[in-house]
Amino acid sequence: AAEDELLLPQLPELFETSKQLLDDVEVATEPAGSRIVQEKVFKGLDLLEKAAEMLSQLDFEDLEVIASTDLKYLLVPLFQGAFTMKQVKPSKRLDHLQWAQEHYKLLNCAIAIMWQSLSCPKPRTQLKNHTANFSMAYPSLIAMASQRQAKRERHKQKELEHKLSAIKSAVESGQADDERVREYYLLHLQSLEEIESIDQEIKILRERDSSREASTSNSSHQERPPVKPFILTQNTAQVKVFGAGYPSLATMTVSDWYKQHRKYGALPDQGIAKATPEEFRKAAQQQEGQEEKEEEDDEQTLYRAREWDDWKGTHPRDYGSQQSMG
C-alpha cells in the first residue's frame, strides 16, 4: 500500500503537468478540434479533477495564512474552466459553458470567503433583478454608466496583464522573492476575463435554442387539399358560359383562384417550386425536338401533296375506268 501511494502523482506534479498542458493547448498550431489538442484537453481535465479532490481535503480558511508557494493551487478551478472551454463538441457547447461558469464561480466564492467576506458574491441574475426598475426608468444613464464601466474594466485588465508579464519570468525561474510570488498569483486570480464572455455566449445559445423551438412549432402549417382540374376564367359571366359547356369541370374566376391560394398560403411566388436550370434545359430540348418533328411532318405532307398533283396532271379523271375496260 505504501508503494502504491508513492507511485501516485502528488499535488505539485498534477498542477504543473496540467498547467503545461494548458500552455501547449493555448499555443498549439493544430486545429482546436484535432485529436492531438483534444487529447491534451481531456488529460488536463482528468489531472485537475484529481488535484481538486486533493485540495478539497485541505482547509484554506484565510488567504493570509496560505504560503505564497501554495497560492497557485487556487488556480485549479481557473484551469478547469479554461480546459472546459477548449472542448469543441457543438452539441455539448452549452453544457461546457455552464460547467466552466461553475468553475469560475467556485473560484470567486472561495476567494470571497478567504478574504473574510460575509458571503459569496450574488449571482448576476439577482443583481439584474435589483436594477431592473431603475434601468427602465433611466435607460440613457444606465447605458452611459455601462460604457464607462466597460472602459474601466478594459483598462484595469490591461494593467493586470502588463503586471503579470513583467513578473512572470522571475517567478517561473525561481528568482522572485516571496512577496513577488504572492503578488503574481493574486494577480492571476483577479484576471478572470473569461467570466463575462461565458455569460454572453450562454445567453446567445439559449436565445438561439428558444428561437429554434419557436420556428419549429410554427413550421407545422395547414395542409392543402389536392387541386382538382378546373377552368380559369376572367369574370363571373364566363363562369356561367363555360360551366354550361363543360359540366364535368369546376369553374372559378381569377379572383376566386387567388383567394383560395391565399387561404392556404400558397400564392404563385410562395407555393410553386421554381424550375431548376436542368429542367429548363430538358424543356428546351423537348420543345426543339417537337418543332423538328413538326417540320419533318410538314415536308412529308407537302411532298405527298405534290406527288398527288403530278399524278392527277398525267392521269385523266376517267383513267381508271378506261384501264378496266381494256
The domain spanning residue 158 has which CATH number? Answer: 1.25.40.540
Same domain membership, residue 179 and residue 98: yes
pLDDT of residue 44: 92
Task: Determine how many CB atoms are found less than 10 A away from the CB of residue 56.
Answer: 8
Same domain membership, residue 198 and residue 241: no
Q: Cα 197–92–95 angle (5° rounding)? A: 55
pLDDT of residue 138: 42
Distance CA 10, CA 45 (A): 16
Same domain membership, residue 243 and residue 190: no
Among 194, 193, 212, smallest CA distance to 204 is for 212
Task: List the alpha helices (DSSP H) in 27-138.
Answer: 35-56, 76-85, 93-114, 124-130, 132-137
Q: Cα 3–6–11 angle (5° rounding)? A: 155
Cα 248 to chain centroid distance, Å, stands at 54
- Residue 161 contacts by C-beta under 8 Å, 6 or more apart in sequence? 191
Helix 35-56 / helix 11-26 crossing angle, nearest 10 deg? 150
Same domain membership, residue 262 and residue 177: no
Last residue of a domain, one of 209, 240, 258: 209
Expressed as residue numbers, the domain containing 157 is: 2-125+143-209
Distance CA 40, CA 133 (A): 47
Same domain membership, residue 155 and residue 43: yes
pLDDT, tens digit only, all 326 positions of the chain: 444 444 456 888 999 999 999 889 988 889 888 999 999 999 999 999 898 888 877 765 555 667 777 778 878 887 888 888 788 877 777 887 777 777 666 666 655 555 544 344 444 444 344 444 434 444 554 455 556 655 666 666 677 677 777 787 888 777 888 888 887 777 776 655 566 666 777 777 777 777 776 666 665 555 556 655 555 555 555 555 555 455 555 556 667 777 776 776 655 555 445 556 666 677 777 777 777 776 666 677 777 777 777 777 776 666 655 555 55
Last residue of a domain, one of 151, 178, 209: 209
Same domain membership, residue 155 and residue 13: yes
Last residue of a domain, one of 209, 244, 261: 209
Task: List the alpha helices (DSSP H) in the chain.
Answer: 2-7, 11-26, 35-56, 76-85, 93-114, 124-130, 132-137, 139-172, 178-190, 194-218, 236-245, 254-263, 268-271, 277-314, 319-325
CA dihedral 133, 136, 138, 141 (to 10 degrees): 100
pLDDT of residue 36: 92
Distance CA 27, CA 165 (A): 16
- Domain contains 323: no
- CB-side exposure of 139: number of CA atoms within 13 Å? 1
Same domain membership, residue 287 and residue 159: no
The structural domain count of the chain equals 2
- Domain contains 280: yes
Same domain membership, residue 77 and residue 179: yes
pTM of the model: 0.45
- Domain contains 219: no
- Domain contains 138: no
Distance CA 170, CA 180 (A): 9
pLDDT of residue 20: 92
- Domain contains 218: no
Same domain membership, residue 306 and residue 190: no
